[in-house]
Chain A
């Protein structure tokens, strides 16, 4: 494979395009609403109508408005059909030839789509994730070629630093700096790890990216490998995502076959291989040191840092760990330039962020917006508010490590610092909307139960603390708690956050703290009747803070 071969594949792919393209969503959500049958029906209808030379039926990745699935798009004309049934196939195919159809139309001009800015998701819903040619046709692997032949690793790292990209796994550490640390640690063996252990409930961005555009992640990893001097990559994916695993396996096989992964990529001295490691259902494995233990075939328990993985990671070698979405950002940054990327977003948070919208909201699905977009724009304009005109009470971000942001703070722009200031975190991008019917102490108990179950048990504050906090929350929810229980709970929150070994324990109190901060009255109303005297004192103390 040399650049001419790549260009040839891309041109062939583009030239081979038929007049009409019917895109059928083949991501997990739509597939659960029978989109496979829809696609088969469309293919048959095209054949029956004798339109095989004019109409292409293409299985594509996530088309984002998952709640209206299965989704089908028709080009030219930018037509969107929603809730398509397999029986609609013939009518839909006939419509491409001008016939009228009564298949339900979606509005591609609605704010849900119009306010999005696609970088990570630019291929999602457009290219066929199971054909590498489709990705190459969309300028795929061009960035890998240009870094191998036009940039030194140092220039590449400076480029990523200049772009201002920060880790999309949630913590927001500057990606370029992390790369630089791994690059300058001397070692004969280094690794690149892609963290696809998307465990936060309510988050499905990484699943969608892996299902819709696996090659963008592979290309990002290979570029990272070149930058830091690693020749082995691992993608750690949850076992709960069988479709993502399948698409990745196909992608790796295809890339290997044509020499875009393996030894001597583009006939350069650089070689890079990627293996998939499948998780086995442990939330804590999203923590980087636990993830590495799991890749090594051990129990996924974290260890203290330092040493950071950048210095001593997998098998004690320097290891670069980035999130799926971070890697998916790399190729576009290389192709379009660091300045372009840095021009999007806010002063400290550059680029875009993918969010998974779910919960009590009209439009559930996947969105990608520039950093700095306000929560109100996302939830009310794009998401269409709560169903049935109910009012939104809070938005939960960051999963069990995050917090609940109350409705009166919805004008906050989405960036790492603003969300932290509100007592939540950016997290990986799950955004769950709660309406008036959601009771906050129950939500806190729900997340605490999650953390209690998922605590690995290695350090005592997390193992015992989460269990105690859950017990107290359970008492409060069942109206058996006293003001004293509440005080103990807050004390424990502080202790567990300060003394736990890893992020799981350190952040486990966040949902409790943020709901106490904004919805304290709900807790007070639940305290057992007998503790009224204490209640008054409790309120007094609360006010004095």
Chain B
């Protein structure tokens, strides 16, 4: 039986040095966290995570995943922080953060509702489910209610096609939804108790 080391040891094995030109980064920007950041534990966790990847620039997406997991969304100061730690220009970090749908640049509501609009869900009526939610919540897909309780999103396909139409409420997939079951599920999350 063999016990291999930690993840990061595997990561550093036999990988070529990143050939990408490293932007000369303002040393002072790398130096320290602002007092506000320093008092925030989440930055420490994120820094530890970056160290796990040994600051490798190709770990940018992994680091952004972690940052979003910790902070809920990626605000500008956070992106700048990630950039400084990975020695990447802000343009590159912002470019990646905006390219991928999964990364959110705005704060999300307390609850999330993701309506799958994959083909199987679509032919089984997910558009009606979405329309009902949009009408009831008074927001469009991609928006958050004013009371910051609910963020409504759509997905291209979550691979739950055999139980279409599927809706994900706070990370839990619910099968075979229709407008009534969806609104019942959202009861309490919506303003006016709808």
Contact = CB atoms under 8 A, between A and B. Distances in A.
A366 interface: yes
Contacts of A296: 58
A162 interface: no
Given A32-B163, A364-B163, A277 B62 contact: yes
Contacts of A434: 123
Contact of B161 (A278, A280, A316, A430): A430
B95 interface: yes
B157 A202 contact: yes
A66 B162 contact: yes
B3 A257 contact: yes
Contacts of A300: 99-100
Given A300-B99, A356-B162, A273 B124 contact: no
A28 B61 CA distance: 25
B158 interface: yes
Contacts of B124: 359-360
Interface string B149-178: 000000111111111101000001111000
B74 to A, nearest CB: 11
Chain B's interface size range is: 35 or more
B156 A29 contact: no
Interface stretch (A14-22, A123-131, A193-201, A346-354): A193-201
Contacts of A365: 162
B120 interface: yes
Give the most central of B57, B96, B157, B175: most A CB within 10 Å.
Answer: B157
Contact of A259 (B1, B60, B64): B1
A360 B172 CA distance: 24
A357 B122 CA distance: 14
A203 B95 CA distance: 29
Give the most central of A296, A356, A438, A443: most B CB within 10 Å.
Answer: A296
Nearest to A67: B162
B160 A28 contact: yes
B4 A358 contact: no
A192 interface: no
A315 to B, nearest CB: 5
Give the most central of A278, A297, A299: most B CB within 10 Å.
Answer: A297
A470 B118 CA distance: 17
B4 A262 contact: yes
Contacts of B102: 239, 279-281
B99 A282 contact: yes
Contacts of A279: 100, 102
B140 interface: no
A364 B119 CA distance: 13
Contact of A430 (B1, B103, B119): B119
Contacts of B41: none
Given A1-B2, A232-B15, A434-B123, A200 B157 contact: yes
B164 A1 contact: no
B16 interface: yes
Contact of A396 (B119, B164, B174): B119
Give the most central of B56, B102, B121, B172: most A CB within 10 Å.
Answer: B102
Nearest to A363: B162
Contact of A297 (B1, B2, B59, B123): B59
A189 interface: yes
A32 B95 contact: no
B11 interface: yes
B102 to A, nearest CB: 4
A257 B3 CA distance: 5
A454 interface: yes
Contacts of A278: 61-62, 65
A344 to B, nearest CB: 25
Given A201-B118, A281-B101, A299-B95, A257 B1 contact: yes
B27 interface: no
Give the most central of B124, B157, B161: most A CB within 10 Å.
Answer: B161
B34 interface: no
A31 B172 CA distance: 10
Contacts of B99: 282, 299-300, 456
B163 A446 contact: no
Given A262-B2, A280-B100, A299-B95, A240 B162 contact: no
Contact of A199 (B62, B95, B157, B162): B157
A189 B96 contact: no
A153 interface: no
B14 interface: yes
Contacts of B58: 295-297
Contacts of A275: 10-11
Interface in A49-101: 66-67, 69
Given A32-B175, A446-B119, A364 B162 contact: yes
Contact of B65 (A200, A239, A256, A315): A239
**Which 3 pairs between the two chains have the least Cβ-Cβ distance?**
A66-B162, A280-B100, A201-B118
Given A201-B122, A232-B15, 10 more contacts: A32-B166, A189-B15, A204-B159, A262-B2, A273-B13, A297-B56, A359-B120, A364-B163, A432-B123, A432-B161
10 contacts: A198-B159, A200-B157, A201-B118, A232-B15, A258-B2, A273-B10, A280-B65, A280-B103, A283-B156, A456-B99
